[in-house]
Amino acid sequence: MSEKPLKTDEQLIADFQNGNENAFVELVDRYKDRLVNFVYRFLHDMTDAEDMVQETFLKVYKNKHAYREIAKFSTWIYTIAGNLARSELRKRKRRKTYTMSDLSFDDNEFTPVDPGKDTEGIVFNSYAGEEIMKAIYALPEPFQTIIILRDIQELSYEDISTILDIPMGTVKSRVNRARLKLQDTLSYLKE
């Protein structure tokens, strides 16, 4: 059984630029879940996330000719979605300043842990997904974005470098700092 080789994203967007709307639908099918996952990690609301991904595709639809073949389609669409999500997040954070109690995981009063405290008893792999997501949400935006791109979307350093328009070396050091920061935040929230 010989199947037709799948078209690349770049071939599909080129087809769409030439008027083939089915190519657009194919791109939507390829990217909708990935982008919903991506945007959801910023917004923590499925309805908002879907709405924003729809906005992303509408932008692609309206501005299809803005895409140039020199870039990967994936980095282009991630850039659009990321910009929308981050600007929505900034709007939200202006509306509501998060307090640490918003981020505690149970009804117990939040008590910061002394970083020097002996934590031998902690099972390191026991962070629940929800705890981690709350901790990511609490991170300053640049850290948050880089964690989502690298550790959740698992994009390459090169792609992240393109999406955020920062040098590869900066991406790597920022990933490292963001992870340390996240781990730090989790330690505080865990107790």
Partner 1 sequence: MQNTDCTFICEQFTEYQDNSLSSKIRARVDTHLASCSSCSEIYQKLAGVIETLHKLPTLQASSDFNSTLLSRIETLNQETVWQKFYHSSSSRVAGYAIAAGLIVAIGINIMIDPISPVKTGIQSNFAGEQIKPNQPTESLAEISDSSANHPVDSLTLQNSTINSQNQSMQLVSGKK
| Site residues (vs partner 1, CB under 8 A) | 25, 28-29, 32-33, 36-37, 40, 46, 49-50, 53-54, 57-58, 61-62, 119, 122, 124-129, 132-133, 147, 151-152, 154, 172-173, 175-176, 179-180, 182-183, 186-187
Closest CB to partner 1 among residues 11, 173:
173
CB of 95 to partner 1, least distance (A): 24
Tokens standing for residue 49: 């996330």
Residue that the structure tokens 């350093």 belong to:
157
Q: How many CB atoms lie within 10 A of CB 77?
A: 25
CB of 70 to partner 1, least distance (A): 26
H or E stretch covering 23 = helix 21-43
- Specify the DSSP class assigned to residue 183: H
Closest CB to partner 1 among residues 40, 137:
40
Please give the full DSSP string across 25-58, using - where no structure is assigned: HHHHHHHHHHHHHHHHHHH--HHHHHHHHHHHHH
CB of 132 to partner 1, least distance (A): 5
